[in-house]
Structure formats: C-alpha cells, structure tokens
C-alpha cells in the first residue's frame, strides 16, 4: 500500500454523516491511509450539520466547500467547481460518495472526469420515479462509479439489470445502521420533548420534508389536519426541516407566535412541531416511538433496524427491502389512507425484531474498508 494513499469522503447533507462515520472509524486501523473529509456545505444549519458531526464523533472536515443552497443546477455546479479545484490542488487516490444527494452526483462527476476512481456507497437503490431529483442522482452516480457498495440484494439486481458489470459490485450491508447501533446506547431524550411524552411508545414521530408534499399548500394543509386528528389518539412529535418550516409559515399554516419552549402546537392539537434535533436525540425518539410517519429515505431503514412501525408517505420507495424484510408500509399521499394505516398499527402488537435484512449488523463500514484498500492497491 503506498504510504501516501489519500481517500476523499464526501458529505453534503444530514443523511450523509452517519454513512461516512463507520468508514472513517474503520480506517483508524490503517494509519498509512489519509482520509480527506470533504463537506460540501449543502447543509449548513447547525442542527442539520455541526451537531451531527459531534454526535457521530467525526472530526472537522478537511475541505469545507461552503456551497450553501441554490437551485439544483446551481448547487450541483458550485459543488463541482469547488471540488474540482481542491482535487487539482491535492489529488486524492479515490473519491467515496454516499447516498443520492446533489453533492453525491456532483463529486462523482468531478472524479470521473479527473480519472480518479469513484466509489459509491449505497449504490443500486431505485424508486423508478424520475420526478425525484434523488433518482436522477442515483442513476448518474452509479453509472460513473468504479466500485459500487450495496446494502440489499435488490440493489445488486437493479445494477445488473442496468448493465453494471457484476465485478464492480460488492454487497457489504448498511453503513447507516452501523452508526445507529453505535450511537443508540448514547441516545438522549430531546430537551424539547414535553414530559408527558416521555414514556416509551406513548407518542409517534413525524418527519415530512419532501417538496412533493410540503411545497403545495393543498397537500400540506390536509396532511397537517390529518396528523392533528391522529394526535388525539397518539401525541405526535415532528422535528421540521428548515425548508418545510419556512413553507408552512409562508402558507400561514403555522405561526411561531404560539411557540412555547421552541415547540409549535398545530391548531391547538397534540401535534408538536420543533426545529430539527441532533442525531443522538433523534435516535432516542425513533427508538421509543409507537410509530413513525415519514417521507425520508434513511428513516425507513432506521425504523426497520429498530423494529418500529414506519408509515411512508410517498407514492414509491427505493427501499422496498424495508417493506419485504422490515417494518415499513408505503401509504401514498392521501391523508385518509394515513389515518387508516395509523388505526391499523395502533390496534396491533409491536412487530418483533426478527425481520432485519442481512448484513445490517454494524459491520458494513469495516467490510467496505476491507474491500476498498486491496481493490485500490490492485489498480496502483
Ligand atoms: C436534501 C436531499 C434529500 C434529503 C435531505 C435530507 C438533494 C437533492 N436532496 O434535501 O435527498 O432527504 O437533504 O435533509 O440533495 N436549508 C436550510 N438549512 C440548511 C440546508 C438547507 O435552511 O442547512 C433549506 C434552504 O432553504 C434550501 C432548502 O433547505 O434551499 C433545500 O436544501 P437542499 O440541501 O437543497 O435540499 P433538502 O431539501 O435539504
């Protein structure tokens, strides 16, 4: 192994951080490798970024690209320009990108044009819905990647069906679950959680932030009304992404005037909205919820690992494995379907932990490093 082997690990948004942490941890056993942690700055609010670094024990980024928000093209282009500039100054031997956000595809494009090997972690997921920007990012990133790490058998099938050679694909398991299992024991109660919600399983959790829902008042208002109705049977706690919070305020759905200790109660109901919360508090909530209502990608997996029922408010999912082998149910965007699904969950027993996909066992990061280093060496 060349002494100077340098590997860039790219993060941009909140869901990326728990995915790189296990690989960085595994590299501590390989002092000859120099990890370069690259933060594109796609997410910049402390609750979406800095606090996650702290909770995951990740050191400060080596390269801060500071791109911030923008249109999809503007944001992707800014990441590309800044990342290319840094790669030309201090050329890494490989670039590892994770997930499916704009930063992922931007850095994969830069790497492939500079002829630096591109490695994609969480490859092969497909919703088959090209109206989702993440689906475009997945397709492009996978086609450009030289090594593709997958976390479920369906992802391998998807890649092979698209003509990606089997030899480039390596099944390793789920890095995000590595982080979840490690930080779970340190999970802490969010200080903003009202005392009456403290008993485990006495509340449900909501995370809804996708533009398909939150950008349209005619969709968001009935959804919040449905959640308020559900909250009479099961109080709900909803940490809100800043863009979703801004949309709700713009549509006049919430007013921060009735904010109480950082919490906004929706229409006087038991649906409580708060600002995003840090990773270890988020895990406590997930772990102790009676059910989770979400449109996120990663949360479908985290609830499966924790054995907590998950209702996904989307028309499709790239994570069918969590339905086939986990606790997830795809509900669609109709609030009446959500209310019916919640009633079903509340009238049934908690699922057992038996159905967890193979290799979601806390060792995916170590498997990646064990494969990646010899693979890079074989190319040298
Ligand atoms: C991104 C990912 C999405 C992921 C989500 C998780 C893409 C295409 N989407 O969506 O897959 O589920 O992160 O959180 O990359 N904003 C802030 N503070 C921040 C960051 C963003 O207020 O720290 C606001 C800004 O108004 C910004 C908007 O959120 O314009 C969108 O941010 P962006 O990072 O482009 O996408 P997300 O919606 O967060």
Each residue's pLDDT tens digit, 285-301? 999 999 999 999 999 99
> Which atom belonging to ligand 1 lies closest to the Cα atom of 68?
20
Domains of the chain: 6-174+360-379 (3.40.50.2000), 195-346 (3.40.50.2000)
Distance 210 CA to ligand 1 centre (A): 9
pLDDT, greater one: 194 or 209: 209
Distance 212 CA to ligand 1 centre (A): 13
> Which atom belonging to ligand 1 lies closest to the Cα atom of 47?
23
Q: Where are the beta strands (DSSP E) in 203-300?
A: 204-207, 236-239, 259-260, 263-265, 271-274, 292-294
Closest CA to 32 of 5, 66, 65: 5
Catalytic residue among 43, 120, 151, 209: 209
Given this model, what pLDDT does residue 6 score?
98
Using a pLDDT cut of 70, give the percent of the chain over it: 97
Give the CA radius of gyration of the chain.
Answer: 20
Mean pLDDT of the chain: 95
Each residue's pLDDT tens digit, 230-280? 999 999 999 999 999 999 999 999 986 656 667 899 999 999 999 999 999
Using a pLDDT cut of 90, give the percent of the chain over it: 91
Among 125, 243, 277, the mutation site with the greatest number of ligand 1 atoms within 8 A of its Cβ is 243
Each residue's pLDDT tens digit, 120-142? 999 999 999 999 999 999 999 99
Report residues whose beta carbon is within 6 angstroms of any ligand 1 atom: 13-15, 42-45, 48, 69, 75, 101-102, 133-134, 241-243, 296
Calpha distance 150→156 (Å, rounded) = 7
Given this model, what pLDDT does residue 192 score?
86
Is the CB of residue 107 less than 8 Å from the CB of residue 79? yes
Given this model, what pLDDT does residue 161 score?
98
Given this model, what pLDDT does residue 261 score?
65
Question: Is residue 64 scored above 60 in pLDDT?
Answer: yes
> Which atom belonging to ligand 1 lies closest to the Cα atom of 103?
15
Would you place residue 198 in the very low, low, confident or very high pLDDT band (cuts 50, 70, 90)? confident
Question: Is residue 200 scored above 80 in pLDDT?
Answer: yes
As a whole number, mean pLDDT of residues 76-83 equals 98
Q: Where are the beta strands (DSSP E) in 28-168?
A: 34-39, 63-64, 94-98, 118-121, 147-150
Residue 209 annotated as catalytic: yes
Question: Is residue 350 scored above 90 in pLDDT?
Answer: no
- The 3-state secondary structure of 277-300, one letter per residue: CCHHHHHHHHHHCCCEEECCCHHH
Calpha distance 265→255 (Å, rounded) = 9
Would you place residue 352 in the very low, low, confident or very high pLDDT band (cuts 50, 70, 90)? confident
46-55, 164-173, 281-290: lowest mean pLDDT where? Answer: 46-55
Given this model, what pLDDT does residue 60 score?
94
What SS3 class is residue 184?
helix
The first and second tokens of residue 101, run together, are 């956000």
Given this model, what pLDDT does residue 380 score?
80
Each residue's pLDDT tens digit, 179-197? 999 999 999 999 888 888 8
């Amino acid at each position: 192994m060349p002494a100077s082997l340098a590997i860039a690990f790219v993060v941009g948004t909140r869901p990326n951080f728990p995915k790189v942490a296990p690989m960085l941890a595994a590299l501590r056993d390989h002092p000859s490798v120099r990890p370069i942690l690259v933060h594109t700055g796609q997410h910049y609010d402390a609750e979406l970024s800095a606090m996650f670094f702290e909770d995951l024990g990740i050191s400060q980024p080596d390269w801060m690209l500071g791109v911030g928000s923008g249109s999809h093209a503007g944001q992707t282009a800014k990441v590309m320009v800044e990342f290319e500039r840094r790669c030309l100054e201090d050329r890494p031997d490989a670039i590892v990108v994770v997930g499916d956000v704009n930063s992922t595809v931007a850095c994969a494009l830069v790497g492939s044009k500079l002829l630096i090997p591109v490695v994609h972690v969480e490859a092969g997921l497909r919703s088959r819905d090209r109206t989702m920007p993440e689906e475009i990012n997945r397709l492009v990133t996978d086609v450009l990647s030289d090594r593709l790490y997958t976390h479920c058998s369906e992802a391998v099938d998807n890649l092979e069906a698209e003509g990606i050679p089997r030899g480039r694909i390596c099944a390793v398991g789920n890095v995000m679950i590595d982080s979840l299992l490690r930080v779970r024991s340190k999970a802490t109660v969010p200080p903003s959680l009202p005392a009456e919600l403290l008993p485990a399983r006495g509340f449900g959790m909501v995370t809804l932030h996708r533009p398909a829902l939150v950008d349209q008042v005619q969709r968001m208002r009935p959804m919040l009304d449905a959640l308020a109705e559900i909250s009479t049977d099961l109080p709900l706690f909803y940490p809100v992404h800043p863009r979703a919070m801004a949309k709700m305020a713009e549509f006049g759905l919430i007013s921060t005037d009735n904010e109480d200790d950082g919490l906004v109660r929706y229409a006087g109901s038991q649906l409580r909205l708060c600002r995003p919360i840090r990773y270890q508090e988020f895990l406590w909530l997930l772990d102790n919820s009676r059910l989770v209502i979400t449109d996120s990608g990663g949360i479908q997996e985290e609830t499966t690992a924790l054995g907590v029922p998950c209702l996904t408010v989307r028309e499709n999912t790239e994570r069918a494995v969590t339905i086939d082998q986990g606790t997830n149910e795809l509900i669609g965007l109709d609030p009446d379907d959500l209310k019916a699904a919640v009633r079903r969950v509340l009238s049934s027993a908690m699922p057992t932990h038996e159905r967890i996909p193979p290799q979601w066992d806390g060792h995916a990061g170590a498997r990646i490093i064990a494969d990646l280093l010899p693979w890079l060496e074989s190319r040298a």
